Amino acid sequence: MLFDTDDLAPEDRVDAVHTVFQEASAPCHLIHEHPDRPVRFRVELRQLGDVEVFGSRSSGMSLLRTERLARQDHVPVVAVSVQRRGVGRLEQWGERQLVPAGEMHLVDLSSAYEFGWSGEGAAGCVQVPLDVLDVPVDTIRRAAGSLRGSPLYRLVADHVAHLGRNARELTASAGARPLGAATLDLVRALLVSAAHDDLDAVEDTRLTQVRTYVRRHLTDPDLGPEKIAAALNVSVRLLYHLCRRAGFSLEQWIIAERLEGARADLALDATPITAVARRWGFTDPTHFTRRFRAAFGCSPSEWRRSRRPPGA
């Protein structure tokens, strides 16, 4: 996307800028510093693998994203931005900061915030969906106010600035996708470093939360990756990453845990086998019997008979 108000009549610019900005970034209210003067705005958005390179230059303005607008977001995104001209003003999560030209800041576009500048200003950023970032939300929030404390700060700031200056050539090159992957890795490393997290410890804690949640909800027929991820406030991608790191398949582990629960119930009473299977999330009796035999070497009915006392 490339948009420039210089191509429009002054009376058409305000509405056009509002519409374009909703498509290029997170929906928000656009407040112009001097609405009685001609508005100038230039926006450029280009894809770089899994991330987007977004640049804007404008007369004085503020972007206001309210809690109501934030709740409407279906694809949470984090923006790592470098101020290219003017002094940026950012307020998010109750914290305020000024961002001089050449410096970097982070905005969680899926949360409420206000960002802008007075007079002519410009900024360039990379926009990264949380479902590919694989960093917990609490890590992102701790990192947001501490970016300058990371030893990677200047490296990432220079990289983001370079992407913004050369977006057209870089996104059209044969190396665009691997460059996007490298950018994603740099942003991830910056956030973990700025938050002073031990990533292994963070992932171990998350994995424990996953196991605990799943075991408490094994009989929930809607239990699945999307529901687990939403309950733990992580992305589905991160959820799968945690399980791969621990060496198991999430879906197969859930089935194995459900089979263990069903086996225990079968030994307790005479509840019909199909009812026990349904209780543990198996709607197809044939499938349940096949999986049970594969796991335990006998059918559910054979298992139940083997648990009966002699003569019963």
What percent of the chain shows pLDDT beyond 70?
Answer: 94
What global pTM score does this model have? 0.65
Confidence of residue 200 (pLDDT cuts 50, 70, 90): low
**Mean pLDDT value across residues 10-18:** 79
Angle, CA of 58, 22 and 186, to the nearest 5°: 75
Assign domain 252-306 to its CATH superfamily.
Homeodomain-like (1.10.10.60)
189-to-44, 59, 66, 67 alpha-carbon distances in Å: 26, 34, 29, 29
Top CATH class of 2-197 equals mainly beta
Q: Would you kindly state where each structural domain of the chain is located, as residue ranges?
A: 2-197, 200-248, 252-306
The per-residue pLDDT for range 38-69, each reduced to its tens digit, is: 888 888 999 998 899 999 999 999 989 998 88
Please write the tens of the pLDDT for every residue from 226-260: 999 888 877 888 888 888 888 899 999 999 999 99
* Cα four-point dihedral sign 120, 126, 129, 134: negative
The domains spanning 2-197 and 252-306 adopt the same CATH topology: no
Convert the pLDDT of each residue in 87-131 to its tens digit. 999 999 989 999 999 999 999 988 899 999 999 999 999 999 888
Specify the pLDDT at position 128.
Answer: 93
